[in-house]
Chains A and B, each alone.
Chain A
């Protein structure tokens, strides 16, 4: 467990900014407690400092996880966000997509979101923008990347993909072994 290096921080924040933009500052400067990002075995954890300090007494081999895992660095040095960070990024997300109940299950099985399933979309979402996918009852289901801007979407066919799938909460079941 160690703090992120500058390069790592840059890659990580760039990725994160795709979803929550400048709201990253809200994650770092919190009113209640100081939180920090810590790297442990390629994974980035977001954890309060008090918990982190206590966790230092756990050996590296024995420490499995602390706080919330945001994602991991791949072997090529890129950062890959995990669905586990959904709660935080949903909180600060700028662009959102709501999908209809009949689109929930297809998305939770790892499929992209097609136009027919879209219930609502944040206005002015540009192309290739990270979006959070919600159910119509405002339960965050995952996140993805828009295939087209909101205005372009209007002209598309119902079966066309609007949001590319990045992560969904179905992964808790599907990828339990590899995710953690």
Chain B
């Protein structure tokens, strides 16, 4: 059809006006009562104008839309054929017309849809009999009726026309309705991402932001179907990150770090879980009492509690308590320790055996150390170390309160081990971390952690884990294990550190933590690929396990000798770490050994023509002048004088 000669259209048009008017008159009697006319007219008028607009391009561009004329003009020979053609074309036409309308309409589509109830045909014709119709409308009608200008029989013509118009109008109405629906769909299904100029939106209230978060998450979860146009995933994610930062109050760096750990909707769950406090859990001190007895005596005080889960025989979960749970006589007598459920895990993974010597490298406030001592049943010994002297106070207090008799508390930087003492059967390293797993406890993490903090922490953790590994005696009959844990969920502080340890110390291997729940550690994360055995490590999430975010890895030390190749790596590492120092020393050396060179330099400077002393005087004088001109400033010369 597109190929049909368009020029004929002009001729058709030229011939049409008279006929059109006739048609109108004829069609009028079959029209509805006049009472409705008034109502319908304005609407139709609108529609007419719109279609006029839509039709306008037809005249000029002579493209596909000239189908009607083409079809008719080309098929003079047979009426039936023509009729068929017309019907087909009518349907097609309605499609196109509506399509064109849609472009213009948008605002008026609701008005248009009203026609549906009043009868599509009526609406169409309603505009015809009005004399005060605009020119556009005439044109419109022309366009519609022009297709029939060459018909032989008026009756057939009318029938065909009315049918065609009916079909067109109905299709249009349907389309309008469909469009209404798609509009609803658009609003709900295809979330339209706000443009770049949405800075104003940023400041809107949290409900809007939350709604937006939900929408974007929905889109991201079914990105192929739901995305809008050709917006990239990054567009959505960057907007989502911004919203999440605003809604949950994280800084952007941390948000990005945490966001990529999880699938999108899980990430939201994680952030949501961070807003809710974890249940209070206590650990029975088996050195002094048993869980059932403790539960009994606490219940007598009106505390509502339950065992924490099948995985622990000593944990109790406290739902509510009429007395402060951290100050009951039982607590003071050391029958239990207030301890997060997650911090049971590393000790359970460590599984210390009686008569072993165990080191807890970063132990304050002693929850894990005392648990270790309890598992040792006060045999063997526990070295509880903490780098912070102030925190050792609470550590000592807890150790005494819980009746741990075999503990030595010391205040070293963990990295000094095994220099202080080595040869331990087991070492627990609950490394200092960013605390991204315990945001529900300490929300300040959300904002106060920067990239530098993370770098510093993971650096420290790497050094500590090597120290921990070196402190263990691989020849221990019962032990030779190291447990590394953090209360953080970021990969930098967990898998990355463990991977580093595996690389630097080939004499250790990862073993199963012995914990039967928790998510496996990542063997690959974004651009990083880790050792496959890292899947033996365990991750714990607040939204999944209802405990703090946690990470546990358990190593077994195979031999005390670090393989030869390792030494080289160590050297490399030192080289890696030292260059700055070296440079600095070089510089110092340079400065020390070459006063002559310095003098030379001064000479050179003088040659160029600068006299530092002179300059200094000049500068000082001008500064003094400047200061004198300003009010309220006492001159320095007075002070110095």
Contacts and interface: CB of A to CB of B under 8 A. Distances in A.
A58 B420 contact: yes
B410 A170 contact: no
B381 A54 contact: yes
Nearest to A55: B408
B224 to A, nearest CB: 59
A135 B407 CA distance: 28
Given A139-B329, A141-B333, A54 B408 contact: yes
Contacts of A140: 333
A62 interface: yes
Interface size bracket, B side? 20 to 34
A62 B409 CA distance: 8
Given A172-B397, A172-B400, A63 B329 contact: no
A63 B329 CA distance: 30
Interface stretch (B95-103, B191-199, B388-396): B388-396
B403 interface: yes
Interface string B42-79: 00000000000000000000000000000000000000
B420 A57 contact: yes
A68 B420 contact: no
B208 to A, nearest CB: 47
Given A69-B400, A177-B393, A104 B329 contact: yes
A12 B214 CA distance: 69
B357 A54 contact: yes
Given A51-B406, A54-B357, A172-B400, A64 B297 contact: no
Contacts of A62: 410-412, 420
A74 interface: no
Contacts of A55: 408
Interface in B388-447: 389, 392-397, 399-401, 403, 405-412, 420-421
Contacts of A21: none
Contact of B396 (A47, A64, A135, A173): A64
A176 B421 contact: no
B393 A176 contact: yes
* Secondary structure class of chain A's binding surface, majority of residues: mixed
B400 A63 contact: no
A84 interface: yes
Of B392, B393, B420, chain A has the most CB atoms within 10 Å of the CB of B393
Contact of A66 (B329, B392, B409, B421): B409
Contacts of A51: 381, 406, 408
A5 to B, nearest CB: 23
B327 interface: yes
B332 A87 contact: no
Given A48-B406, A62-B411, A176-B394, A57 B329 contact: no
Interface residues of A, number: 36
A135 B396 CA distance: 25
A64 B332 contact: no
A23 to B, nearest CB: 17
B333 A169 contact: yes
A169 B332 contact: yes
B356 interface: no
A179 interface: yes
A122 interface: no
Of A50, A51, A173, chain B has the most CB atoms within 10 Å of the CB of A51
Interface in A39-58: 47-48, 50-51, 54-55, 57-58
A65 interface: yes
A65 to B, nearest CB: 4
Contacts of B407: 65-67
A62 B408 CA distance: 11
A135 B334 CA distance: 14
B330 interface: yes
Interface string B571-595: 0000000000000000000000000
B332 A58 contact: no
A59 B410 CA distance: 9
Contacts of B333: 139-141, 169
Contact of A137 (B297, B411, B420): B297
Contact of A65 (B330, B332, B335, B399): B399
A58 B421 contact: yes
Given A65-B409, A179-B397, A173 B327 contact: yes
Interface string A126-163: 00000000010101110000000000000000000000
B526 to A, nearest CB: 41
A168 B396 CA distance: 17
Contact of B381 (A50, A87, A141): A50
A55 B357 CA distance: 12
A64 B400 contact: no
Contacts of B400: 65, 68-69, 84, 172, 180
Given A176-B394, A180-B397, A63 B403 contact: no
A108 interface: yes
B15 to A, nearest CB: 105
A135 B421 contact: no
Among all A-B residue pairs, the 9 with the closest Cβ atoms: A169-B332, A64-B409, A84-B400, A180-B396, A65-B409, A57-B421, A66-B408, A55-B408, A58-B410
Interface of A: 47-48, 50-51, 54-55, 57-59, 61-69, 84, 87, 104-105, 108, 135, 137, 139-141, 169-170, 172-173, 176-177, 179-180
5 contacts: A54-B421, A65-B396, A65-B409, A67-B408, A87-B403
